[in-house]
C-alpha cells in the first residue's frame, strides 16, 4: 500500500499555497491526490490511512467547490535526500504538514476571540459579554497559557475592558524554548519579553515567529509547531485577542484546567446582557449609526459594538469589533459560522 506516498506528494503540492488565490491550484492538487489514491485502492483496501485519505479528499473537494473533472498536477520529482523517505525526514515542528502525513488529511481548527467589553467568542461558537475584572485565563492547556487582565471601561461602570495580555508558549523540546509575550495599553511590542522575535536557538526555533502588521497596534504570532496563529490588537483604550488553534491543541488540557474563557465562556455570575440600560454616554441611535458603518451585518459583533460605544462613549470601539470580525474571517475554518445571531 503506497498511501503514504500519495499523502507526501499532496503535502509537497499544497505546502506553499496561501491566501485567497490558491483555489485553482488547490483543486488541481486534490484531483491529483484522488487519482493517486484510486491507483492504490486494490492494495490499500484494509488500510485505515487510505480510507481516511479518501474521505478527507471528498470533504475538501466539497468545502473548496472543486470539480472532480479537470487537470491533475503531475507528481513533483522528489529531491535527493540524505535520509530515507519517511516521517523522520519531515519537519516535526510543522504541525500541519506532520498531521497530514500521519492522518492523510489536514487537521481541524477552532477559533476564539476576546475583544471590547470584553466579549468572548468561544471555541464552540458561543458568545458572551463579561464583566470579569482582574486577571482571567483565556487558555490554559499543555501548550499555551493566555491570561487577560481587565479594568473598568469608565469610572463607575460595571463594564470592563482588557488592559493587559500575557501569552506563554510552553517549551517544546524539539522545537522552541519557553517564550512569554506581554502586551499592555500603548505597548503592543513586536517581540517576546526577552527581546527575541522567534522560538530561540533550537532547530525548530523559526516555527514560532512574530509579525508586526501595524506598529504598536496589531501583531500576529505564528506558532507553526502547534498549528496555531494568534492576533493581538489595540483599538482605543482596549486590547483584543484572537486565535486559530488546531483542535488537538485546543483540547489538550486536564479537568484541573477547567477555567478557560475560550472553552466555557465566563462564569454565569460574570455574564452581562448586551442590551444597553439606563443613560449611556452616547445615544443608542448614534452608536448604531457609527457601528453600521464598520459592521453592516447586524450580528453579535454589531450588537457588541453598539453596547461598547454606548457604555464607554469611545467611538474607537467600532474598530475593536471590526478587527475581531476580520480576524474571525481569516481564522474560522468554516466561513458559514462567521456571523452569530442572538
**245-257: pLDDT as tens digits:** 999 999 999 988 8
**One domain, residues 152 and 261:** yes
Query: Where residue 230 falls among pLDDT bands split at 50, 70, 90?
Result: very high
Structural domain includes residue 289: no
Beta bridge partners of 109: 246
Q: Is residue 342 part of a domain?
A: no
**Do residues 118 and 260 both lie within one domain?**
yes
Whether 37 and 122 share a structural domain: no
Together in a domain, 55 and 158: no
Specify whether 147 is located in the same domain as 201: yes
125 and 236, same domain (yes or no): yes
| pLDDT tens column, 48-67 | 788 888 888 888 888 888 88
What is the overall mean pLDDT for the chain? 87
Alpha helix (H) ranges present in 85-198?
95-103
More confident: 142 or 158? 142
Examine the domain organization and report whether 38 and 180 are in the same domain: no
Domain shared by 120 and 183, yes or no:
yes
In a domain, 276, yes or no: no
58, 113: one domain: no
Q: What is the pLDDT of residues 180-201, one digit of tens each?
A: 999 999 999 999 999 999 999 8
**Overall residue count recorded for the chain in this entry:** 342
Please answer whether residues 119 and 148 qualify as being in contact, where contact means their C-beta atoms are separated by less than 8 angstroms: no
In this prediction, residue 19 has a pLDDT band, given cuts at 50, 70 and 90, of: low
Q: Binning pLDDT at 50, 70 and 90, where does residue 154 land? A: low
pLDDT for position 18: 67
Q: Is residue 24 part of a domain?
A: yes
Q: For the CA atoms of 202, 245, 217, 138, what is the dihedral angle to 10 degrees?
A: -100
Last residue of a domain, one of 248, 265, 282: 265
Q: Are residues 200 and 125 in the same domain?
A: yes
Q: Examine the domain organization and report whether 125 and 238 are in the same domain.
A: yes
Question: C-alpha 136: how far from its chain's center?
Answer: 20
pLDDT digits (tens, 9 = 90+) for 236-246: 889 999 999 99
Percent share of the chain, pLDDT over 90: 56
Q: In this structure, is residue 299 part of a structural domain?
A: no
pLDDT computed for residue 44 by the predictor = 81
Where does a domain end: 265, 291, 310?
265
Query: In this structure, are 141 and 239 located in the same domain?
Result: yes
Flag whether 312 is in a domain: no
**Domain stop point among 198, 233, 265:** 265
* Structural domain boundaries, residue 19: 2-64
Mean pLDDT of 151-158: 72
Residue among 87, 102, 101, 85 at smallest CA distance from 11:
101
Q: How many domains does the chain have?
A: 2
Per the domain annotation, does 200 fall within a domain? yes
Domain annotation covers residue 48: yes
User: Whole-angstrom Cα distance, residue 286 to residue 276?
Assistant: 13
Amino acid at each position: 500500500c503506497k498511501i503514504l506516498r500519495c499523502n507526501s506528494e499532496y503535502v509537497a503540492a499544497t505546502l506553499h499555497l496561501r491566501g485567497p488565490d490558491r483555489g485553482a491550484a488547490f483543486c488541481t492538487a486534490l484531483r491529483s491526490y484522488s487519482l493517486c489514491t484510486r491507483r492504490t485502492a486494490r492494495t490499500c483496501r484494509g488500510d485505515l490511512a487510505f480510507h481516511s485519505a479518501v474521505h478527507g479528499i471528498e470533504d475538501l473537494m466539497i468545502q473548496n467547490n472543486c470539480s472532480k473533472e479537470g487537470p491533475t498536477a503531475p507528481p513533483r520529482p522528489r529531491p535527493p535526500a540524505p535520509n530515507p523517505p519517511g516521517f523522520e525526514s519531515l519537519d516535526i515542528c510543522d504541525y500541519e504538514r506532520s498531521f497530514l502525513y500521519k492522518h492523510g488529511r489536514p487537521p481541524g481548527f477552532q477559533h476564539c476571540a476576546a475583544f471590547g467589553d470584553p466579549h468572548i467568542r468561544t471555541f464552540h461558537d458561543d458568545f458572551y459579554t463579561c464583566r470579569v475584572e482582574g486577571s482571567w485565563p483565556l487558555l490554559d492547556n499543555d501548550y499555551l497559557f493566555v491570561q487577560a487582565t481587565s479594568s473598568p471601561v469608565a469610572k463607575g461602570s460595571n463594564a470592563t475592558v482588557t488592559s493587559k495580555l500575557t501569552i506563554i508558549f510552553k517549551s517544546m523540546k524539539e522545537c522552541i524554548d519557553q517564550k512569554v509575550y506581554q502586551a499592555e495599553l500603548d505597548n503592543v511590542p513586536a517581540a517576546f519579553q526577552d527581546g527575541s522575535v522567534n522560538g530561540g536557538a533550537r532547530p525548530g526555533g523559526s516555527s514560532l515567529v512574530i509579525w508586526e502588521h501595524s506598529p504598536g497596534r496589531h501583531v500576529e504570532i505564528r506558532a507553526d509547531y502547534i498549528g496555531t496563529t494568534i492576533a493581538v490588537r489595540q483599538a482605543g483604550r482596549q486590547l483584543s485577542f484572537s486565535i486559530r488553534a488546531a483542535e488537538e491543541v485546543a483540547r489538550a488540557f486536564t479537568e484541573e484546567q477547567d477555567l478557560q474563557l475560550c472553552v466555557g465562556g465566563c462564569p454565569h455570575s460574570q455574564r452581562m446582557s448586551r442590551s444597553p440600560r439606563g443613560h449611556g454616554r452616547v445615544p443608542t441611535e448614534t452608536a448604531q449609526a457609527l457601528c453600521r458603518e464598520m459592521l453592516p451585518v447586524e450580528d453579535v459583533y454589531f450588537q457588541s459594538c453598539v453596547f461598547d460605544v454606548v457604555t464607554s462613549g469611545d467611538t474607537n470601539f467600532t474598530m475593536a469589533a471590526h478587527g475581531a470580525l476580520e480576524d474571525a474571517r481569516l481564522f474560522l475554518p468554516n466561513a458559514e459560522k462567521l456571523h452569530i445571531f442572538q
